[in-house]
Amino acid sequence: MFRNAIIDGRMETVEYSVVRSDGVERFVATEAELIPAKPGSLARLVGVTQDITERKEAEKIRVELQRQLHEAKKMQTIGQMTGGVAHEY
């Protein structure tokens, strides 16, 4: 996952899903950075992993609500147009 970031020597965040031992899927984000090695020692990969399942679920809800709002505005506009046409007749 972090191969390109490690090669370039930059910090990178990767989001992915994992399945717990009880079968529940969770979403996590891992941020890692390569700490260069001093001469004669090994480089270290340091990282943090965070559970972002609630954030992902909230994002899904937000996207769905935006879709519903767009649809409602579209229907309101159509209703206003048909009301105007009906008024003309």
69 and 43 part of one domain? no
Q: What pLDDT is recorded for position 32?
A: 87
Sheet with 12-19, side-by-side order of all strands: 12-19, 25-35, 44-51
User: 3-state class of 83 per DSSP?
Assistant: helix
Residue 14 to residue 41: CA distance in whole angstroms = 27
Residue 41 to residue 44: CA distance in whole angstroms = 9
43 and 57 part of one domain? no
pTM of the model: 0.61
2 and 27 part of one domain? yes
38 and 59 part of one domain? no
DSSP-derived letter for residue 85 is H
42 and 5 part of one domain? yes
44 and 22 part of one domain? yes
7 and 34 part of one domain? yes
Is pLDDT above 70 for 22? yes
44 and 80 part of one domain? no
Nearest to 27 by CA among 48, 53, 50: 53
Domains identified in the chain, total number: 2
More confident residue, 73 or 89: 73
63 and 29 part of one domain? no
